[in-house]
Amino acid sequence: MTLPDPEIRPRPPRVTGARHLVAATRYSAGGARRLWQETALRHIALGFAASLALLIWARAGLSEIAIFTVLTLILVAVEALNTAIECVVDHLAPDWQEFARDAKDLGSFATMCLLVANGLFLASVLAGAAGLL
């Protein structure tokens, strides 16, 4: 007799309507809790708070703060996707494999691109506030 794999669970029943919205919110909250376990997200949150303080100190406009907030939310979304890729790759390739390295490197690169975009935007706002632009 073969015992069932404890990692495999039956799929939850499909829900629709308002119950779907509640379920989707619960899944998103679970994703946020999981992502908070990543050091990278905590660094992003700390960087956002420090950058927001800089923007307020530099008397950035509401639109500039809104753009920076949107850029940071996009960064968080990309970091969540990067973490999801890493979870799947770690499951598929517990030992070193080239495809696993490539997948992780590409996810990391996507995150880095958004970090650079956030940094460039922050620098341009601060330079403008200092009269350098």
Report the alpha-carbon distance of residue 115 to residue 111 in Å, rounded.
6
Residue of 71, 67, 22 lying closest to 44 (CA atoms)? 71
Active site residue 7: no
Cβ atoms within 10 Å of 9's Cβ, excluding its own: 8
The Cα–Cα gap between 55 and 123 comes to: 10
CATH 3.40.390.10 fits 38-129, yes or no: no
pTM greater than the 0.95 cutoff: no
Active-site annotation holder among 7, 64, 79, 98:
79
Can you tell me the distance from the alpha carbon of 133 to that of 124, in angstroms, rounded to the nearest whole number?
A: 8
- Give the per-residue pLDDT at 61: 96
pLDDT, averaged in runs of 10, over the chain (133 residues): 68 84 92 96 98 97 98 98 96 92 96 98 95 84
User: What local confidence, expressed as pLDDT, does residue 111 receive?
Assistant: 97
